[in-house]
Amino acid sequence: MTQSQVLKKLKRAHWRSLERMLRKVFQEGFEAGLARAHGLGRRGRTVRGDATVEGLVRLIERHFGLERYGFEVRIVHAGSGRRVPAGDELRKYRVEA
């Protein structure tokens, strides 16, 4: 075998092993992502009762990328229709359905 043939053979073997390793690592990461997103009880987050209106608005802005748009949410009391102050806790205005 000539030197160039040996080098080509080594390059092919190295590339195949690298490709196999990358495929395996990608698949492991993909499966881990699926387990995180769809399994193990991670279906969504509930809004805690001690959350404030301001915190909820900040969470929505960050999630949807609305910080630069002057996003505003108006939360009103179900019974009276009066606007809820930003510092109030949400549990104070909970309505049982």
Per-residue pLDDT of the chain (97 residues; tens, 9 = 90+): 899 999 999 999 999 999 999 999 988 888 877 776 665 555 566 666 677 777 877 878 887 888 777 766 677 767 777 777 777 777 776 666 6
pLDDT of residue 68: 79
User: Can you tell me the distance from the alpha carbon of 28 to that of 97, in angstroms, rounded to the nearest whole number?
Assistant: 44
Contact 75, 53 (CB under 8 A): yes
User: Can you tell me the distance from the alpha carbon of 44 to that of 41, in angstroms, rounded to the nearest whole number?
Assistant: 9
Q: Which helix (H) or strand (E) holds 10?
A: helix 3-38
pTM, 2 dp: 0.39
